[in-house]
Amino acid sequence: MGHPVSKHVYENRGGILPRPEPSLRVTDIFPGEAIKQRNWRVAAAAAAHVEPYLESLAYRVDSDEGSIVFAGDTEPCESVLRLARKADVLVVNCWDHQATMNANGEAQGQTGTLDAAKMAQESGVKRLILTHTGPNLSKPGSKERGIKEIGSIYGGEIIFGEELMKICLWE
């Protein structure tokens, strides 16, 4: 809010400085906890990313329409697998081909193609959405090879997330 560009954009949109502080209602959530409302529930589990530098969480949203798990950046771990068990959708990072990540020492704290596939298969989700993909995996040809690698382990639907992509979750 205090950055000069932020102030400039605020004024350009019709705001008058000084900009009022935002009114936020924040609820911290911790592993094992859930927030429940009338038609939905959010639960959290510890993810294995860059501990002890940063504590990461995965989230599961259950509603009348279905369930989706946002695993984010994590290596496969039991807490996320339990959270994702029988969900409709699993959204997980997939940085690169597993062999490349293993060879480059990049497999810790995140998933590659085979780890993402194993997580989806073991948790029994119906649909796997890959996000936070690296530049190598995103290349034409490489992307198709990655989807094929995942399909050799995971039998559900695989979606390679792209910028500005819209996905209907409950078809």
Q: Residue 58 falls within a domain, yes or no?
A: yes
Overall size of the chain counted in residues:
171
pLDDT in tens, 146-167: 999 999 999 999 999 998 999 9
Q: Residue 31 falls within a domain, yes or no?
A: yes
pLDDT in tens, 74-96: 999 999 999 999 999 999 999 99
Q: Supply the range of the domain harboring residue 102.
A: 25-160
pLDDT at position 171 is 67
Mean pLDDT value across residues 24-48: 90
The CATH code of the domain that includes 85 is 3.60.15.10
What is the spatial distance between Cα 17 and Cα 163, in angstroms, rounded to a whole number?
33
- What share of the chain in percent tops pLDDT 90? 74
pTM, two decimal places? 0.84
Find how far residue 29's CA is from the centre of its chain.
17
Domain count, the chain: 1
Find how far residue 163's CA is from the centre of its chain.
14
